[in-house]
Chains A and B, each alone.
Chain A
C-alpha cells in the first residue's frame, strides 16, 4: 500500500515538474526582461511587425562577462557595448579622436596639461547629469584598479594631477609629453554612485541597455536624451546564434537583419535579400612562434617558415580571396603606422626556406605542433593550409585544437606552446597597443620575443615627444619584427557584414566595434 502511495507521489512530482516547466506563462515569472524597464516585453510584437523602426543583429557569441566597461575582457562584449558607453573623447571611423563627454579640450604649451570642458547637458541613461566628479571617479577607478575585476589602465600611471577647478572643467597633468595619452581617455565615463554596472550598465552613449537573457538576446534602445546626433533606430536586439547552420537559417528566414564577421562561404550562400559590406577585422592574424622554444629560437628557422608560407595562397584557398595580407604586427586600417613594403618582405621561396633550414641544422625538417583555439574557425582553416604548405619544406606540423579557456591559461598566459594561429587586436587606437607586446620584459609578450634592438627602439618612442618621430620609430619596430621573423604574419581578416536590403549606414572603425547609431532604414 505504501509503495503505491510512493508511486502516486512520484508520478505527481513528475507531472508537476513538467507542468510548471511548460505551462508557466504567467507574467510575474518573466524575470529575463524588465531589469531596467518594463517596456521590453514588446519584444515579440516588434519582431512580428517588420516595419517597426527596430532591427535584430545576430552575434555569434554571448556577452557572458561583466558588462561593466572597466571590467570587460571579451572583444565581442566591447564590440556591442561601444554603442552604450563613451569617454571624454571617442574614436571616429577615420581613426581620429572626437570630443564626446567633453565638448572641447586643449593641451598646454609644454604638452603635459590637458584641459577638458564638459559638454553642456550630457546625461547618463538613468537621467542623471554627468558631473566632473563622475569623470574624475571613472579615471581614478581605472588608474587605481583597487576593485577586483577592474582593469588597470597602465597609461594612467603617468597622471600626476587630476582635478576639477570648476564644475565644468577637468584638468589632467601628466609627467611628460605623451602623444598617446589622449587615446586612453576613450575610457568610459560612468556614474559615480551607481553599483549595478556588471549586469545593468549605465553610460552616456547613443543607445541605452535595456535587458538581456543569457544565451538568448540583449536589447538596446535609443537614448532619447543623447547629446549628439541621435541614433536612427529605436531599438536594436542582439540575438545570440552560435551554430553556423542556424546563423544561415536565421538570415534567410528574416529573423536577423544584420550579421558581422561572416565567412566567405556563408556570404556565398546568402540570398538576394542581403548585400555585403566589406571591412577589416583589425586583427593581426599570424602563426605566432614561441621564440624561446627550440627550434624557433633560431632566426633562420623562423625565416624559413616565413618563406614557406604563402599568405595570398591562404587567403585565396581558405577565405575566397577576402583578406589583406600583412607582413608585421600592424594592419592596413592603421594607415598612419602601416608600412606596406613589409608585406612582401618574404615571398614564397621553397629553395631558400630549405637552405635556411639546412643552415640551421635541420636539413630534413622537423616536427612541430600548432595550437589553435577550437572556437575560431578562420584560424583553424588558416592552420590547415599552413600545415600543407610547410610539408613542402619537410616540416611536419600537427594541429592541436584546444578549448579557448585552455588556450588562455596554457598558451597565452603559460606560454607553453610551439606555434599558435590566432588574431591579436589593439585595445586602443595606438600603435603601442600592438607593438609594446614584443618588448622583451613586457608581461603580454607571450611569444617570448627578445631583441635588445627592439627594446631600445621602444625606449626611444617613450622618450620622444614628437608624433612624427614616434611614428617613424614605430615603423622601425615593425621592420625589426619582420626582419627577425618574430612570427609568420598572414593577414588582417576581412570583416564581411551581411546587411538586409533597405538598411544602410554601416560604418567600419579601425578598432573592433559595431556602431549602430548610423544604421537606418533607407527612406
Chain B
C-alpha cells in the first residue's frame, strides 16, 4: 500500500511541478495574454484595462493558486483566444490525439515484435546486412517527411484518403480512423525500427547465455526455446522502451498533425503558446504530463509482472 501511495504521490507531484514550471515560463517569456490579444493595437491604457479584466495584474502566486483551485474543482478556465471553456475546447482535440497515439502504438507492437523475433532468429544471414541498413534508414527518416511522402503517395496518387479533409470522428468514425492510419504509419516507422533493433539485440545477447545452450543441447527445439524462455528474459527492457514510446508518440504527433492537417492537441498547444492563452496551455501540458507519468508507471508494473526481481522493496 505504501508503494501505491508513493506512486500516486509521485504522479501528483510531477503534474504539480510541470504546471508550476509552465506557469513560470509564461512569466519569463516576453509578452503576456494582453499584449498577444491587442497586438499592434496596444496602448498602455488599453493593456492596463485588459490586464485588470483578465486578472493579470495580480501577483503570479495568487494567479497560480487560483488556477490550481480551479483545476481541482474541475474548472479549467476560459480560453483567452477562443472565448470558450477550455474543457470544451480541448476535449475533441484530445480524442483525436489519443486515437492517433493508440493507433500508432498498436501498429508499433503489431509490427515490431514479430519482426524483431524473426530478424533475431536469422541473424547473420545473407540478407541480414541489407535488413540492418534498411532498419537504419527507417530510424533516420523524420515522421514529417514520411508524412509528406504518404500523403502524396496514398492521398494524391492512389486517392485512398483525401489529405486536408479530416472527417469529424463524431460523424464519420471509420473515415477518421482511416485518415489517422496514414499519420500513424508515419509516426510509427522510426519507432518500429528502433524497437526491432532493440528486441533483436537483447534476444541475441540472451541467446548466447549458458541456459539457452543447455536447453538446446538437451534437445529442445530452437524456436521453442526462443519463445518460451528467451523472450521472457529479453522483454523487460523492451517494455520499458515501448512505454517511453507511448509518451513520445504524443510529442511526435504535434509535428505529424501539422503535416496531415489533423486538428489535435499538438496544433492547439502550439497556437495557444503563441497566443499566450495560458489556461489552454496549462490544461494541455498537465494532461500530457499525466499521460507520460502514467505510461512510465504502466511500464514498471508490466515489467514487474514479467520479472519479479524488478519489484521494489517495501511491498508486501
| Residues of A near any B CB (own CB < 8 A) | 1-3, 6-7, 10-11, 13-14, 17-18, 20-22, 24-27, 29-33, 41, 43-44, 47, 56, 58, 62, 64-67, 73-74, 145, 148-149, 151-152, 198-199, 213-217, 239, 241-243, 245-247, 249-256, 375, 403-406, 408-410, 412-413, 443-444
Contacts and interface: CB of A to CB of B under 8 A. Distances in A.
* Most chain B CB inside 10 Å of its own CB: which residue of A31, A242, A251: A31
B95 A443 contact: no
Contact of B29 (A30, A215, A255, A406): A406
B57 interface: no
A410 B42 CA distance: 12
Given A405-B31, A408-B31, A10 B294 contact: yes
Contact of B98 (A17, A64, A215): A17
B173 to A, nearest CB: 4
Contacts of B172: 44
B171 A43 contact: yes
B119 to A, nearest CB: 29
B261 A250 contact: yes
A111 to B, nearest CB: 29
Given A247-B164, A408-B36, A408-B42, 5 more contacts: A64-B271, A214-B82, A214-B93, A215-B263, A410-B30
A148 to B, nearest CB: 4
A242 B258 contact: yes
Contact of A29 (B30, B35, B98, B170): B170
Interface string B35-53: 1111111110010011011
The list of the 4 closest CB pairs from A to B, nearest first, reads A250-B164, A21-B98, A255-B164, A216-B263
B231 to A, nearest CB: 21
B152 A249 contact: yes
Interface residues of B, number: 78
A6 B4 contact: yes
A199 B30 contact: no
A397 B46 CA distance: 35
B253 interface: no
B18 interface: no
B95 A249 contact: no
A135 B36 CA distance: 30
Main secondary structure of the interface of B (DSSP, over half): helix
Contacts of B165: 47, 56, 250, 253-255
B294 A18 contact: no
A88 B260 CA distance: 42
Contacts of A66: 37, 83
Contact of A413 (B42, B155, B167): B42
A255 B179 CA distance: 13
29 contacts: A2-B1, A6-B301, A11-B298, A11-B301, A18-B102, A22-B95, A24-B95, A29-B170, A32-B92, A41-B171, A64-B275, A64-B277, A65-B37, A148-B50, A148-B52, A214-B79, A215-B263, A216-B166, A216-B263, A217-B263, A246-B164, A253-B151, A253-B159, A253-B162, A403-B274, A405-B30, A408-B35, A409-B35, A410-B30
A14 B274 contact: no
Contacts of B291: 17
Contacts of A152: 46
B136 interface: no
Given A3-B3, A250-B164, A255-B163, A199 B36 contact: no
A408 B175 CA distance: 41
Interface in B266-316: 267-268, 271, 274-277, 291, 294, 297-298, 301, 305, 311, 315-316
A24 B171 CA distance: 10
Interface of B: 1, 3-4, 7, 29-31, 35-43, 46, 49-50, 52-53, 79, 81-84, 88-89, 91-95, 97-99, 102, 144, 148, 151-152, 155-156, 159, 162-173, 175, 258-261, 263, 267-268, 271, 274-277, 291, 294, 297-298, 301, 305, 311, 315-316
B259 A254 contact: no
Contact of A73 (B38, B82, B167, B171): B38
A249 B268 contact: no
A285 to B, nearest CB: 15
B164 A22 contact: no
Given A10-B294, A148-B50, A214-B89, A64 B82 contact: yes
A199 B46 CA distance: 21
B99 A44 contact: no
Nearest to B88: A31
Nearest to A74: B39
A257 to B, nearest CB: 11
Contacts of B151: 245-246, 249, 253
Contacts of B31: 405-406, 408-409
A243 B258 contact: yes
B164 A239 contact: yes
* Most chain A CB inside 10 Å of its own CB: which residue of B37, B39, B50: B39
A404 B274 contact: yes
Contacts of A21: 94-95, 97-99, 102
A149 B29 CA distance: 22
Contact of A406 (B30, B40, B41): B30
Contacts of B156: 249, 252-253
Contacts of B276: 405
B168 A43 contact: yes
B39 A245 contact: no
B15 to A, nearest CB: 15
A493 B49 CA distance: 36
Contacts of B52: 148
Contacts of A213: 92, 263
Nearest to B97: A21
B168 A199 contact: no
Given A44-B167, A62-B271, A242-B267, A405 B84 contact: no
B173 A25 contact: yes
A443 B261 contact: no
B84 A214 contact: yes
Nearest to A8: B301
Given A29-B91, A249-B156, A2 B163 contact: no
A22 B168 contact: no
B199 to A, nearest CB: 22
A433 to B, nearest CB: 12
A6 B169 CA distance: 32
